[in-house]
A and B are shown apart, each in its own frame.
Chain A
């Protein structure tokens, strides 16, 4: 019998915040057989999307979906301080369900941005951020600065699709008409492909942004040109300030090298103020290099539902926001949480060991398409249809543009959204909400 071949075009890769939406996927008899145009990470993600799926289990023993959901509801409704955590690699529709479950349970809800780009979100609440879309960057940017990020290894197609060699409306020549600058503490593939690599000492982002503010504004700085700031001579920083003032449309893409190093949120605050002040001279923007495919969506959903992008606690019946106190890492390190519902993230791999280890001592309900370090010990494991492969929904790109991810194969499992809806309905019933 002939095998049925379907070719899906314009598929979105859901791995990273680039959300490349030009991927071609061939499916033979409901199995993904070929992936074209994606980078190696995206290709591997799609090619392995249908393998290594966990069983539905309670305490490691196979069970039915119904029994697993009942156990999940039992655990969550009996907890005194439950945590709802994850969100970053699923659809906004599923994220919305998670927020509602957190509210019904008077739980705390957080997403991985609280330890990645969360400091940048806190900075935005203080000073705002002049930002743009990746489409604008592609069409207009003649100066691109990568600061504390290495997209050639983390967001591989960012450079070809949006920021460096992409041919845009005002840059039909692509790479030739753009200047690329990298600021980093070590040489990387990205710094090596830049026109200018400024190698700085670690932990000095705030000082650099402060100096650039002064230089861009032509303010005196009380230091000679030979003085070193972050290991680089002031004369070099002056050159960069002039390049910034002289560009027609510039953008800084900043990564975890900015948000996770010494200073954290105040680094981004100073960078955001720098960018807004540059706009006194020319058009200039900044954008966070968001990691997980829909981590930006997690912040969007939490903000429109609770008013805050991360670290929200409902224990008083209304949302309270306090990064540090209600951030997942702090809560787990202090062992405050007594049960957790975790969806679309892998705390067994991502969190510091002493923090993740607390989850091994409390009941954890885990929705996840693949076996990973967390499925090894989670109390209730519910496999789900992977978003963007076997479930459709909305994802937010790193520039906060929402895109619809497709369902290209059928799965035996429900989507995160469907499982969460069932959990929510039974919690509501159990609590007579």
Chain B
């Protein structure tokens, strides 16, 4: 089955910050926090196309997001901070520090069954 595993890293983006201030229910904000940056070679390996909906799964949950090609390292996937990324990390997994694995959660990415 097509797919790829690696580490999810949550990040701030300019658009995420600016759109958040217009309201966290606004579609532009929700689009931005559902946009995954991924290396083009990883995308090819996982048989995914830019703009395609993909399913991202961790041990704690799964979300459907849109993937776009970016100059990020291979096997590192970047999602803006927010409620979407927060379905993939857990508060019970902080190594006793109070800080979840927002900068390195193991995830698997595969094309979503239905391209919407």
| Residues on A facing B (Cβ under 8 Å) | 15, 40-41, 44-45, 48, 52, 114-116, 118-119, 150, 152-154, 156, 185-187, 189, 199, 201-203, 256-257, 259-262, 264-265, 311, 323-324, 327-330, 332-334, 346, 348-356, 370-373
Q: What separation, in Å, do the CA atoms of A328 and B70 have in the docked complex? A: 34
Q: Is B51 an interface residue (CB 8 A)?
A: no
Q: Residue of B at shortest CB range from A257?
A: B103
Q: What separation, in Å, do the CA atoms of A355 and B83 have in the docked complex? A: 12
CB distance B90 to A354 under 8 Å? yes
* A–B Cβ pairs within 8 angstroms, 8 of them: A40-B17, A41-B14, A119-B97, A153-B17, A202-B104, A261-B104, A333-B92, A353-B83
Q: What separation, in Å, do the CA atoms of A332 and B91 have in the docked complex? A: 8
* Nearest 4 Cβ contacts at the A-B interface: A327-B98, A355-B91, A333-B91, A44-B21
Q: Residue of B at shortest CB range from A16?
A: B17
Q: Residue of B at shortest CB range from A154?
A: B12
Decide: A351 near B103, CB < 8 A? Known: A185-B73, A371-B25: no
Contacting A at CB under 8 A, from B15-66, are 17-25, 60-61
User: Of A41, A150, A323, A332, which is within 8 A of B97 by CB?
Assistant: A323
CB distance B91 to A349 under 8 Å? no
User: Interface centre among A203, A261, A348, by most B CB within 10 Å?
Assistant: A261
- In addition to A44-B19, A203-B104, 13 A-B residue pairs with Cβ atoms within 8 Å of each other are A40-B14, A118-B99, A153-B13, A153-B14, A156-B14, A186-B71, A187-B72, A323-B98, A324-B96, A327-B97, A330-B98, A354-B92, A355-B92
**Chain B: interface size category:** 35 or more
| Chain A-chain B contacts (Cβ-Cβ < 8 Å), number | 142
Q: What separation, in Å, do the CA atoms of A430 and B56 have in the docked complex? A: 49
Residues of B within 8 A of A353 (CB): 60-61, 83, 86-87
Q: Is B100 an interface residue (CB 8 A)?
A: yes
CB distance B17 to A48 under 8 Å? no
CB distance B98 to A187 under 8 Å? no
CB distance B99 to A354 under 8 Å? no
A159 CB to nearest chain B CB (Å): 13
CB distance B71 to A118 under 8 Å? no
Q: What separation, in Å, do the CA atoms of A187 and B71 have in the docked complex? A: 7
User: Of B60, B73, B96, B104, which is within 8 A of A354 by CB?
Assistant: B60
Decide: A150 near B98, CB < 8 A? Known: A346-B24, A355-B90: no
User: Of A189, A259, A260, A354, which is within 8 A of B91 by CB?
Assistant: A354
Q: What separation, in Å, do the CA atoms of A45 and B19 have in the docked complex? A: 9
Decide: A330 near B14, CB < 8 A? Known: A186-B76, A202-B76: no
User: Of B19, B92, B95, which is within 8 A of A264 by CB?
Assistant: B95
Residues of B within 8 A of A265 (CB): 97
Residues of B within 8 A of A348 (CB): 83
User: Of A48, A114, A186, A311, which is within 8 A of B23 by CB?
Assistant: A48
Decide: A154 near B17, CB < 8 A? Known: A119-B97, A202-B7, A348-B83: yes
Residues of B within 8 A of A187 (CB): 71-72
Residues of B within 8 A of A332 (CB): 91
Q: Is B107 an interface residue (CB 8 A)?
A: no
